[in-house]
Amino acid sequence: MTATDRTPADLLRSALAADPARPLVTFYDDATGERVELSVATFANWVAKTANLLQGDLGAEPGDRLALLLPAHWQSAVWLLAASSVGVLADVGGDPAQADLVVSGPDTLGAARACRGERVALALRPLGGRFPEPPEGFADYALEVPGQGDRFAPFAPVDPEEPALIVAGAQLAASEVVDRARADALGLGLTGPGARLLSTRGYDTWEGLSAGLYAPLASGASVVLCRHAEQAAEDVLRERIDTERVSATAR
């Protein structure tokens, strides 16, 4: 990461330039047994494809509001960075009726229908699987994203001082997200490249987003993101901490 990085998308570009092969996000779902590991390069490719979908097919522009109705999940992290890449305001758990477009998991489709703009649904199935039948009125992310381009260039420059994130009622500019993530990293025990943080926190608070994505990204570390960790026995989590060479936890 460099001192000139002023948006989360900048942080990802710097991570890609520094070491594309290192792990960035390792995701566990203790309800399904799923484990997914994404290197910086693989994660960045997903972000580029999603940003191209967002900007191209969905017509999103800087300043548009995206209601993000997703849990702590590796695909949620992808959407957050894609929004940053385009300059879209990601409103985590926001009101779809007040948004220009909505991205929803399978459990929030009813609420997401209040959005009068574009709607995207994620099945959140293992291996990024699609819905057996796409929900009516929604584009199925798993069907739409594979054909998108592997490189992304925004139509307009992203202003780091413009609003980039709303979470738990707090609105942050892109530069504030970066500054807060850097400040959080030391407190989370992320003292430098190679650190690995296991987080069981949700994505519905700043603390969860920071531990589960932004602070590791800002510090050259990586995250082991655990969903439904309450369903895992304590000895399973302890073994995971050892196996994944975790150096810090946020629970």
Q: What is the DSSP code string of 195-229?
A: -EEEE---SSSHHHHIIIIIHHHHHT-EEEEEESG
Cβ neighbours of 13 (radius 10 Å): 17
Parse the chain into domains and list their residue ranges: 8-250
Residue 58 has pLDDT above 90, yes or no: yes
C-alpha to C-alpha distances, 235 to 11, 78, 229, 251, nearest whole angstrom = 34, 30, 12, 15
Q: Predicted confidence band at 2 (pLDDT cuts at 50, 70, 90)?
A: confident
In CATH terms, 8-250 corresponds, of 3.40.50.12780, 3.90.550.10, 3.40.50.150, 3.40.50.1980, to: 3.40.50.12780
Digit-coded pLDDT (tens) for 67-95 = 999 999 999 999 999 999 999 999 999 99
Computed over every residue of the chain, the mean pLDDT equals 97
Average pLDDT over residues 13-38: 97
pTM, two decimal places = 0.97
Q: What is the pLDDT of residues 158-190, one digit of tens each?
A: 999 999 999 999 999 999 999 999 999 999 999
Q: Residues of the chain with pLDDT > 90: what percent? A: 96
The answer on pLDDT for 1 being more than 80 is: no
155 versus 1: which is more confidently predicted?
A: 155
